[in-house]
Chain A
């Protein structure tokens, strides 16, 4: 045994002790050390000044560099393949669609307005035919005009899921439900425009023929995946590295995971575009690997805003709320965070056991676990997000979650347990993603409050990136006994179809990548969705959405936690800032301007 090192070892231990002690003191100091320079008068418009309203529109000047920062790169910058909300929002810089979301704050931002087209669709044939005429002066970045064939080709790319996977496929499902078209890469016709559902009688006209009406079709055409793509510039799976621009900016450079730079597209003409203002000369994104670092750089003023728009991290949030409140907005994100009960795991096949969960849970505690009323959101009381037409917000609260039962109602929960035939409670498991600390915290909250009514929940953490095969597979859920699944969901476009169809419709129960975790098979709900698709009147659509929401809540399949809110940062230098429901409460990127272009 070599004992030569004995004394050395002890020295090491003591030295380590000194180092740790030093670290601890510095850590402790870091807590309150930088409180002194709070409340700087820097010209920021104030807390919530850009939430659902426009802040400092007139201060926006032409020119300068708008600087985004993000910990996350887009899934793809290819207009066909992107599915992240911030990518859809950002893509308006370099892509245009027939119609797009209005560049207005709040609810109006979710309405569609003509972009490449001269007006909204002329709908005929009982909602089965949509006709658009293209504007004059619309051009690609090389100066050639954008034609109706380019639009058709861009939309056809959605069919090529084998090469261009990842994006939303609504257009494909609505225009070609029988899956007859093979996509442009397998198209036998010479011009690769073989899709029969879209006609292009001339370069200025495009006609869509729907086999069945769908009242949200125009919303789908406003998605980024309906952007035009020019055939000779289509680099297929590599298109996302350098999309060919139809908007006011074009790609200068892109290093995935590092940075992205857009510069002005000199061929784009302001008078051809009723939507985009194009204030800055240059737009950059810098990607970070550490969220705390990113938040610190935002607060320091090195960047203008977070690209991902998912709110500051707990650390940066605390600093920002205490010292720079005037730079923050607190929008509703459009997401609902919830737990859902898998009916293929006993005893959740019984509605009374599900209701016992709803009554037993402490909703205030769940809200605190999500981040509290400001950073987390208002207590969720039903399953329709506030940004979706037909939602009633907290006014519809069938289980008193934000009212009389908000701290949990043990008596009522026990009554329901009795009705369920489990008067002494039961055991089950909560499945929760291990990469979401906040979701684990909500699971712990459910565990603690439901223990009081005799429901014993075990928390199972699984690899969040594998969710499609872990909780997305009903047979795996049954095998593992995951009675409670914690998840969140936001609308692809603000309508009950864009939000609830994959969650609640019986056709969407899948063997993998399932999102109807509760396995809802309700003929009434399916029927209401069918009614919705043929209802073309907005008020009628909203009414059906409300009814669907009521049916879902009456079934007690979901325990909503919060109508999610974020705390988002905007720099002092940003002007014409506003949040929009069109992009789930994010700032509307496309019309952001700078007050001082030289900064």
Chain B
């Protein structure tokens, strides 16, 4: 008996977002298109967002294929080339930080490691930390946010206070303190592995309240909607409503927030590496490169420019893409 009645309600759910489109000029285009398809159509029209997306994709490919790229390119990220360093000043001998056909972006001061190879390998660290910590934050944030919004009462009060507390927590200082008491090896990992795992967990842990608050707010507003009322009056259980009625409608804000959170996490990782609590040498990371470039900002400015530009492009691309996704999924808000 519930089956036929259910069909239209399930359709009604995405229609919340579609209403705007229906009300708009493109009313006739609505038939037979899913939410995802509509969003994709809108995204395609947004040139800035699209280019951001392409850069993001490219970065992911580069990060995954980093060892292959550097071996084709013919330079190891950790190999010293001291013959390219001026022993008097410690800076690369060539112009523009030693850029050449062999070393496209020049070499590092003092040890002459290839900057292009180190940037490519550094992308792995940045993206790995950026993505995985976002996933950790999204999982915790969604689960707790939905619980708080849906159940309300003391559950909501408790979770909301925890979120407030975490938002007020000085996370950067906490992480720096954590590094000094952290064991050298855990869960079968050691060295850089431990540092990475810790950064992912900690950045993710401190990131979840942001997404948790949004999810909670959305859940609060949606649980009183007609289609939820309808499902409830038809005798649907709590978990049915949670998973079948509410979660699908939360997907859009969650995706948007995830794309916004990744660049923030990348910056946090860079900041931690900059402060010397990130990955261990010789593993390269953009933040660590920036940090060591400080001593050479005048004598070898390219060394500081390159990782700076890499971080900048990555964060900008993610932000533009994230904005585009938001516009595409939730056109009502932006217009």
Contacts and interface: CB of A to CB of B under 8 A. Distances in A.
Interface string A298-342: 000000000000000111011101000000000000000000000
B204 to A, nearest CB: 21
Contact of B330 (A1, A367, A447): A1
Contacts of A13: 316, 319-320
A62 interface: no
B90 A3 contact: no
Contacts of B82: 364-365, 368
B80 interface: yes
B88 interface: yes
A13 B276 CA distance: 27
Interface in A420-472: 434, 437, 440-441, 443-445, 447-449, 458-461, 463
Interface string B235-263: 00000000000000000010010000000
Contacts of A460: 184, 280
Interface string B168-203: 000000000000100010000011000000000000
B324 to A, nearest CB: 9
Contacts of A27: 297, 301, 304-305
A9 interface: yes
Nearest to A315: B298
Nearest to A317: B89
Chain A interface, >50% SS class: helix
Contacts of B310: none
A58 interface: no
Contacts of B79: 448
Given A24-B305, A368-B110, A445-B80, A3 B326 contact: yes
Contact of B299 (A31, A367, A368, A448): A31
Contact of A1 (B190, B253, B280, B319): B253
Interface in B308-334: 308-309, 312, 316, 319-320, 323, 326-327, 330, 332-334
Contacts of A6: 323, 326-327, 333-334
Number of contact residues on A: which range applies? 35 or more
A480 to B, nearest CB: 7
A477 interface: no
B85 A368 contact: yes
A9 B323 contact: yes
Interface stretch (A142-150, A159-167, A207-215, A371-379): A371-379
Nearest to A435: B276
A318 B89 contact: yes
Contacts of B297: 27, 30, 315
A158 to B, nearest CB: 35
A480 B330 CA distance: 54
Contacts of A10: 48, 319-320, 323
Interface residues of B, number: 51
Interface string B213-236: 010011000000000000000000
A368 B90 contact: yes
Given A1-B218, A27-B305, A375 B78 contact: no
Interface string B273-299: 000100011100000000010011111
A10 B51 CA distance: 14
Contacts of B191: 458
B91 interface: yes
A444 B332 CA distance: 54
A338 to B, nearest CB: 18
Contacts of A321: 88-89
A544 to B, nearest CB: 36
Contacts of B180: 463
Interface centre among B218, B295, B334 (most CB of A within 10 A): B295
Nearest to B331: A3
A2 interface: yes
Contacts of B80: 362, 365, 445, 448-449
B301 A315 contact: no
A123 interface: no
A315 B90 CA distance: 10
B111 interface: yes
A373 B87 contact: yes
B298 A3 contact: no
B299 A314 contact: yes
A372 B326 contact: no
Given A2-B333, A13-B316, A461-B276, A445 B298 contact: no
Given A30-B301, A314-B299, A365 B111 contact: yes
Contacts of B302: 28
A14 to B, nearest CB: 9
Contacts of B308: 20, 24
B72 to A, nearest CB: 22
Contacts of B292: 437
Given A7-B334, A441-B111, A447 B281 contact: yes
B280 A458 contact: yes
B111 A28 contact: no
A3 B296 contact: no
A369 interface: yes
Contacts of B296: 314-315
A381 B302 CA distance: 35
Contacts of B86: 372
B207 to A, nearest CB: 17
Given A24-B305, A30-B297, A448 B320 contact: no
A4 to B, nearest CB: 7
A16 B190 CA distance: 38
A17 interface: yes
Contacts of B332: 3
B334 A3 contact: yes
A434 B312 contact: no
A441 B316 contact: no
A580 B80 CA distance: 37
B67 to A, nearest CB: 17
B281 A440 contact: yes
B301 A369 contact: no
A335 to B, nearest CB: 19
A203 B218 CA distance: 90
Contacts of B88: 321, 372-375
B150 to A, nearest CB: 18
Contacts of A443: 281
Interface centre among A317, A318, A373, A445 (most CB of B within 10 A): A318
A321 B280 CA distance: 33
Interface string A362-395: 1011011101111100000000000000000000
Contacts of A448: 78-80, 111, 282
A434 B277 CA distance: 10
B319 A9 contact: yes
A302 to B, nearest CB: 19
Interface string B87-111: 1111100000000000000000011
29 contacts: A1-B218, A3-B333, A6-B327, A9-B319, A24-B309, A27-B297, A27-B301, A27-B304, A30-B301, A31-B298, A31-B300, A314-B90, A315-B297, A315-B298, A318-B299, A365-B82, A369-B111, A372-B87, A372-B88, A372-B89, A375-B90, A434-B276, A441-B110, A445-B111, A449-B80, A458-B190, A459-B280, A461-B280, A463-B180
Closest 8 interchain pairs by CB?
Answer: A3-B333, A372-B87, A318-B299, A31-B301, A314-B295, A6-B334, A318-B89, A27-B301
Given A365-B111, A372-B87, 15 more contacts: A6-B323, A10-B319, A10-B320, A24-B308, A24-B309, A30-B301, A31-B300, A31-B301, A319-B298, A321-B88, A373-B88, A374-B88, A375-B88, A440-B281, A448-B111
Interface of A: 1-4, 6-7, 9-10, 13, 16-17, 20, 24, 27-28, 30-31, 313-315, 317-319, 321, 362, 364-365, 367-369, 371-375, 434, 437, 440-441, 443-445, 447-449, 458-461, 463, 480
Interface of B: 48, 78-80, 82, 85-91, 110-111, 180, 184, 190-191, 214, 217-218, 253, 256, 276, 280-282, 292, 295-302, 304-305, 308-309, 312, 316, 319-320, 323, 326-327, 330, 332-334
